[in-house]
Amino acid sequence: MLDIHFIRENVDIVKAGAAKKRINTDIDRLLAVDDERKMLRQELDAKKAEQNRRSNEIQRAQGAEREKVIEAMQHLKSGMAESEEKLKGVMEEWQKLMLTVPNIPDMSVPDGESDADNLEVKKWGEPTVFAFTPKNHVEIMTALDMADFERGTKVAGFRGYFLKGDGVLLANAVWQLALKHFSAKGLTLLGAPSLVRREAFLGTGYLPQGEDDLYKTQDGDYLAGTAEVATMAYYMNESIDLSKGPIQFLAFSPCFRREAGAHGKDVRGLIRVHEFFKWEQVILCKAEHDESVRLHEALNRNTEEFIELLNIPYHTVTNCGGDLGLGQVKKYDIELWVPGENTYREISSASYFHDFQTRRLNIRYRDAEGNLKFPHSLNSTAIPTPRILVSIVENYQQQDGTIKVPEALVPYVGKSVIGKVGK
């Protein structure tokens, strides 16, 4: 959430930011409602002052004069109740409008409508070349009994899957390597809940716009598609201590997404599923732009290093304005090479938000001068499963139908080849 004073002082910038993100928001209506809010607040303050004055008069007055003052007080109270009710309605609209105002993207964010307009900023490795016709991960994993997609659909519905045998072993190996790699960066480990209250989704900016993509319980809670939501809400309505440096978490959780806008896309296999697992990096730091930029690069680099451990070709892109969410100032996507589709596929996103999320979540800290401020927040996917298995299986497939295990995963898998007994 942006500060209303900032919005008022930078109307053109806020409107331009919304246009760059292709997000519809009515800034003019917000300012008109804000004017009404301030006017009603001033009226109420004046009536409260009048009420205090009348209360003092009642204490001094006697007889008929006292009755007259009491009658005037009753009329005043009736008017105050009417004004308070009117202010309540105005505040409801004001709050709804404020929640629709997007954060302003960084100047370095390229213009564009969708992910097709994202800008490549780095490329590592070359697309894998095979001396045979490669198969896709569904064919490979089915043949090696690493996954069962038919029974997954039977049991869990559309996009359902079972991991089996070496599929489970490989996913668990990725988790263990990720735990070792990312925790060495100084992040505090956190097991985060997936069932989260609405306030946390509003605070992180996933609501109200993204409700169609969330699973909702009958109690009004939601299932999160990332540990970011719960981890950011960990300090909701609290004051934190940043005197010793940023607070950094490595959070693990099951994740759930309806993929409401993805009908007909990636319907086979593990690319786009409703239920998955993910390690997530989350940081809270001082409200300094340069610090956010530095940590953003570091978070993204952490995941690049992990992909390089697996020796999988990737490229990193800067997301264009139309591919940014409501609160993001800037975002990188890391995309892995998927031989079965002859293209790169997203595996990780790294974003920074300035104080957009912390203002909504009411998280504060005291700066060196003792002033209360809203900290900056950042997050980045460390690694998700089972999607990472797609690139591992397809890039490491061999002509005889087996899969060579990436060297970094061999200690956790316990063998160097999947599909051959004794290897």
Catalytic annotation, residues = 257, 272, 346, 349, 387
Using alpha carbons, list the distances in angstroms from residue 3 to 15, 40, 210: 14, 20, 22
Measured CA to CA in angstroms, residue 216 lies from 223, 257, 342 at distances of: 6, 11, 36
DSSP 309-370: HHT--EEEEEPPGGG--SS-SEEEEEEEEETTTTEEEEEEEEEE-TTHHHHHHT-EEE-TTS
Contact yes or no for 377/204 (Cβ under 8 A): no
Report CA-CA distances (Å) from 106 to 280, 327, 351: 23, 12, 11
Q: To the nearest 5 percent, what fractions of the chain are helix, strand and coil?
A: 45, 20, 35
Cα atoms in the Cβ-side hemisphere of radius 13 Å centred on 166: 25
Give yes or no for a contact between 146 and 164, defined as CB atoms under 8 angstroms apart. Answer: yes
| Side-chain half-sphere exposure of 292, counting CA atoms within 13 A | 21
Instruction: Specify the pairing of strand 330-338 against strand 372-373.
Output: unpaired
Which residues contact residue 349 at a Cβ distance below 8 angstroms, ignoring those fewer than 6 apart? 319, 331, 332, 333, 334, 380, 381
Q: Are 3 and 103 in contact (CB under 8 A)?
A: no
Bridge-partner residues for 284, per DSSP? 247, 377
